[in-house]
Every structure is written in C-alpha cells, then in structure tokens.
Amino acid sequence: MNVETHEFSLPLTSPLDTAHGAIEHRKGILVRIEDGDEVGIGEATPLSGWTESLPACRAAIAHVDDPETELSSLEATPAARHGLSLALADLRSKRAEEPLYRYLGGTERVEAVPTNATVGDAPRDETVAAVNEAVDAGFECVKVKIGARSVTDDVARLRAVRDSVGSEVELRADANGGWSRTQAREAFHKLDTLGVAYVEQPLSLTDIEGLAELRGRSVGVAVDESLVDSSVDAILEADAADVLVCKPMVLGGPDRAVEVAERARDAGVTPVVTTTIDGVVARTAAVHAAAAIPDRPACGLATGTLLVRDLGPDRTRLVDGAVGVPQEPGNGVADTWGAP
C-alpha cells in the first residue's frame, strides 16, 4: 500500500468558540491510500480540546508504514486514526462494491438520515426566529445552545420556542458543560414541562457522578465532551447517560463510531452521530456511520454550511431536514486530492 497526505485549510463562515480560543479555519490532512488500481480517501481534521493537535496528527500519520496493521498504534491520536481508517474503509468498500454504511455493518438500504438544526445562543426573540426558520426549512428536530445565560433566561428562551413551534418539533438543548449541579437540577425541573428531549453535557466533562445523578427525569442527559476525558465504558458503567453523542473524528473513525453506538444501544443508551465541523470527506463518512445504526434518531450532520468552501462537492443533499446517503461503492465522495 502507498500512503500519501495533503494538508488543507477551510475557512469557517464565523469563528468557532472553543475552550482553547476561537477557530477561524478547520485545518486537517487528506489521506490517500493506493492498493494496486484501487484508491481510498480519508480525512483527519483535529480539533483542539477534542483530539490531538494538528502537529501530533501529522506526526502520527507520517510514522505509519502499513495502515492495515498499524491502526492499533493510533489510539492516542484519534483524528489520525480517523483519516487512515476512513481511507482503508473507503478502499475496501469500493472493492466490495458496496456503500460505506453497508461495509460498516448496515443491514438494510438507507436513503436518508434525519438531522437536527442547531441554533446558537441569542436573545429570546432571535432564538425563536432562528428555530422557526429551521422548522420552515423542514427540520423536525432543533438543538438550542444554552448555558451562557442564567437558567431563568435559558428556560424563558426555550419556553418561547415551544410556544411558537408547538409540540410536534423535537427540542434538544446543549449546555456545553456550563452548569453547576445546583443549576442543572433547577434547569431540569423547569424544563420538565417543555418537552425537551435531552440536555447535552449539562455538567463539566469530569463530573460523571453528577451526570448520573441527573438521570431519571423526563429530560434526558446526553454525554458529549465527557467522552474526551472518560472512556465509553466508564460512562456506560456509571449509568451517566441517556444519550451518547458519537463524533467519529473524536472516537477514531466511522468504524469506531458504529462500534460505540452498538455498545450504547446494548446498554439501553441512545447513540446520536454528530461531526466536529469537518470537511466533506469526513462529514459524508459520518452520514454513513449514522446510516449503519438501526433506528437512528436525528443526528448532527447538517454542518456543511458552516464552511466558506469545502474539499469538494457534497453529494449528501439536505432535503426537508434529512441528509441523503450515497449509494455508490465507498464513501461516495469525489476524488478531492489537491483540494485547498
């Protein structure tokens, strides 16, 4: 096998605020694996605080001579593993003449995966307007960012949203670890009457015990950032989640995301696949990972519009809140080699 890499930088439509500062570009590495006449394309797009750094990712990929046997050496660099494992999966599923989601274990044809829209932190009227715009565009599930304001203000925002859109729209909230245990208990009590499906990361990523204590209410607990600090097994053994947010780039590849989703389902926990605002290669692979999971809920896959430009054309059309799943062999992404 021959492994080649190409680095890229994709500007964001607006800066992404993280605990490590604002990010204006998504920088990563395309991975191209040739085996005879066959080619597989992968993407490694690290995100500080979630995966290794770009230099660490670059170094990890550079040290791999035989990706088929050396994936196990990349546990500490999940973005690097994602890039190589995706390139291998793309190549192998093309060889098997089946779409990637079938290669990943999907047992039936899946034409589309439901997605959620995401609405950022904003004053109440702006939040309501943004949610209504998403619903008008066909989304049946909307996630609202909370946690930056007081609990009272955030509950008022979500109450106004529910009053505006009615009971048929699924509402989720994402606190990004912004609450104390006392604030979280207050919020969950007040959100109980609003039909909020779950709150994503209501407590800090290290407070697994607190997350477990929050469970048992009508509002579910979704674990996201905690998967950076704690293992999947630790989260499941602690009964700390109703929902497990599965980011393939963070978990080390679409194959790992499907494996984690299966373990979550076996434990009675709902898996939801989302991206880390990746390029089209990784984003399409996340769609395939979601399609490989039975009875999938709405997933966080509608993130392509957050990029000013992409690595190539996006063949996963978003229609009425659902993203189409490519049916051709492999990942279904055009050869993006040499993209910016």
Of 136, 266, 135, 270, the C-alpha closest to 200 is: 270
Percent of the chain residues topping a pLDDT of 90: 91
Binding-site residues? 174, 200, 224
Binding-site residues for Mg(2+)? 174, 200, 224
Distances in whole angstroms, Cα of residue 18 to Cα of each of 2, 21, 105, 173, 216: 36, 5, 34, 18, 30
Beta bridge partners of 328: none
Model pLDDT, residue 334: 79
pLDDT above 70 for 275: yes
pLDDT band at 338 (very low <50, low <70, confident <90, very high): low
pLDDT above 90 for 54: yes
Written as one string, the DSSP assignment of 102-129 is HHTT--S---EEEB-EEE-S--HHHHHH
Please identify which residue in the block is written with the tokens 């943004």. Answer: 130
Q: What is the pLDDT of residues 170-189, one digit of tens each?
A: 999 999 999 999 999 999 99
Model pLDDT, residue 1: 87
Contacts (Cβ under 8 Å, ≥6 apart) of 98: 329
pTM: 0.95
Q: What is the mean pLDDT of residues 281-290?
A: 98
pLDDT above 90 for 158: yes
Q: What is the pLDDT of residues 60-94, one digit of tens each?
A: 999 999 998 999 999 999 999 999 999 999 999 99
Q: What is the mean pLDDT of residues 256-262?
A: 97
Model pLDDT, residue 336: 62
Residue 94 is among the residues annotated as catalytic for this protein: no
Cα separation, 128 vs 189, in Å, equals 22
Q: What is the mean pLDDT of residues 135-150?
A: 95
Model pLDDT, residue 48: 86
Catalytic residue of the set 94, 143, 145, 190: 145
Cα separation, 130 vs 119, in Å, equals 7
Model pLDDT, residue 15: 81
Model pLDDT, residue 20: 58
In order of start, what are the domains of the chain with their CATH numbers?
2-102 (3.30.390.10), 112-324 (3.20.20.120)
Q: What is the pLDDT of residues 206-241, one digit of tens each?
A: 999 999 999 999 999 999 999 988 899 999 999 999
Q: What is the pLDDT of residues 90-129, one digit of tens each?
A: 999 999 999 999 999 999 999 999 999 999 999 999 999 9
pLDDT band at 49 (very low <50, low <70, confident <90, very high): confident
Cα separation, 185 vs 155, in Å, equals 13
What is residue 286's three-state secondary structure?
helix
- Cβ burial of 235 (10 Å; 0-12, 13-18, 19+) is buried
Which of left, alpha, beta for 315 (phi over 0: left; psi -120 to 50: alpha)? alpha
Which amino acid does the sequence have at 86? L
N- to C-terminal Cα separation, the chain = 25
Catalytic residue of the set 94, 143, 190, 247: 247
Cα separation, 243 vs 1, in Å, equals 39
Alpha helices in the chain (DSSP H): 54-62, 67-70, 78-95, 100-103, 124-136, 151-165, 181-191, 208-214, 226-229, 232-237, 248-251, 254-266, 280-291
Of 285, 280, 278, 216, the C-alpha closest to 256 is: 285
Q: What is the pLDDT of residues 17-42, one digit of tens each?
A: 665 567 889 999 999 999 999 999 99
258, 290 in Cβ contact below 8 A? no
- Cβ burial of 140 (10 Å; 0-12, 13-18, 19+) is middle
